[in-house]
Amino acid sequence: MELHWDGNNTSVDERNRSAAFGTGALPPTLDRPSIHRTEDWLLDAAPPAYPYPVDAALASKGKPVYAEHCARCHGASGTDFTGELVGKVTPIDVIKTDRHRLDSYSFALCVNQGQLYAAYPSERFQHFRKTNGYANQPLDGVWLRAPYLHNGSVPNLWSLLEPSSMRPASFFRGYDVYDPRNVGFVATVGKEGQKAFFAYDTTLPGNGNFGHEGPAYGTDLPEDSKQALIEYLKTF
Ligand code: HEC
């Protein structure tokens, strides 16, 4: 699959070595066995189950809504990732989410990445590509991934199913208390004791909470269909 948000790589190994490089590992010091062990573990790791009650009858009503509106991009279910467009990139003009991340990965950067590991021919990157959008990814464990979208600009699933004009313009990130009503972490609390949470301002460049909206993305579904869809997504 073309993943890594903008779909710029199909190789998990290259993505991981690139991330290790970015956080300070150098080709001679890279802990290859640990990276491979993590990779192998991740390949079939199952997400933790949703920890609150799930209304099975409501979730079963959400299943066909998901199949109709979401499955072709996000996979048949939380465990079956088949689907016409899964692991492919949706062009930015279609998905219309914030394009700063996409633009920050330039063609020049892509070419320069090919120079890394120059003394290690078998490890030089071959799969990085400049793309023109964001990737359609599987949604396993989606309940635990909030805040949503590549820039974490939408605090919960309920808001993601609202048009962007209705999504919170600012909220707090970093609180670990769960919000089972909206499905995400509580994002309205700025401080607990000595701990201040990060104030996320969606009006800043790169922080936009728009896109992934309109009839193709479920934001104009009737409220009861949205509720059923969210209940179903809790089972992923
Ligand atoms: C045309 C393909 C397409 C369709 C249809 C689609 N999505 Fe998406 N979805 C995407 C893309 C691309 C992204 C990533 C956008 C970004 O991060 O900027 C995304 C992101 C998401 C995310 C955020 C994932 C995360 O980890 O942050 C969720 C949740 C989601 N979609 C749910 C849905 C649901 C539910 C539906 C159906 C109502 C749906 N999508 C329909 C392409 C699609």
- The count of structural domains within the chain is 2
Instruction: Kindly state whether residues 142 and 210 are assigned to the same domain.
Output: yes
**C-alpha to C-alpha distance for 195 and 108, rounded to whole angstroms:** 40
Q: What DSSP string runs through 175-234?
A: ---EETTTTEE--S--EETTEEPEEEETTSTT-----S-SGGGTTTS-HHHHHHHHHHHT
Instruction: Kindly state whether residues 175 and 191 are assigned to the same domain.
Output: yes
Pocket of ligand 1 contains residue 143 by CB under 6 Å: no
Q: How confident is the model at residue 184 (pLDDT cuts 50, 70, 90)?
A: very high
Contact 208, 98 (CB under 8 A): yes
Mean pLDDT for 183-197 is 97
Mean pLDDT for 191-199 is 97
Mean pLDDT for 150-156 is 98
- Domain end marker among 98, 115, 135: 135
Instruction: Kindly state whether residues 228 and 200 are assigned to the same domain.
Output: yes
pLDDT at 118 over 90: no
**C-alpha to C-alpha distance for 114 and 170, rounded to whole angstroms:** 38
- Residue of the nearest CA to atom 5 in ligand 1? 70
Q: Which ligand 1 atom is the nearest neighbour of the CA of 218?
A: 38
Q: Which ligand 1 atom is the nearest neighbour of the CA of 219?
A: 38
Instruction: Kindly state whether residues 186 and 236 are assigned to the same domain.
Output: yes
Helix (H) or strand (E) holding 69: helix 56-69
Pocket of ligand 1 contains residue 65 by CB under 6 Å: no
Instruction: Kindly state whether residues 12 and 38 are assigned to the same domain.
Output: yes
Mean pLDDT for 104-130 is 92
For ligand 1, the distance from its centroid to the CA atom of residue 122, given in whole angstroms, is 35
| pLDDT (0 to 100) of residue 143 | 98
Pocket of ligand 1 contains residue 17 by CB under 6 Å: no
Instruction: Kindly state whether residues 80 and 142 are assigned to the same domain.
Output: yes
Mean pLDDT for 212-232 is 98
| pLDDT (0 to 100) of residue 21 | 86
Pocket of ligand 1 contains residue 183 by CB under 6 Å: no
Q: Which of 28-37, 115-124, 227-236 has the highest average model confidence (pLDDT)?
A: 227-236
Instruction: Kindly state whether residues 21 and 81 are assigned to the same domain.
Output: no
For residue 2, the enclosing domain spans: 1-45+89-135
Pocket of ligand 1 contains residue 148 by CB under 6 Å: yes
- Residue of the nearest CA to atom 37 in ligand 1? 70
Write the pLDDT tens digit of every residue in 41-98: 988 999 999 999 999 999 999 999 999 999 999 999 999 999 999 999 999 999 999 9
For ligand 1, the distance from its centroid to the CA atom of residue 125, given in whole angstroms, is 28
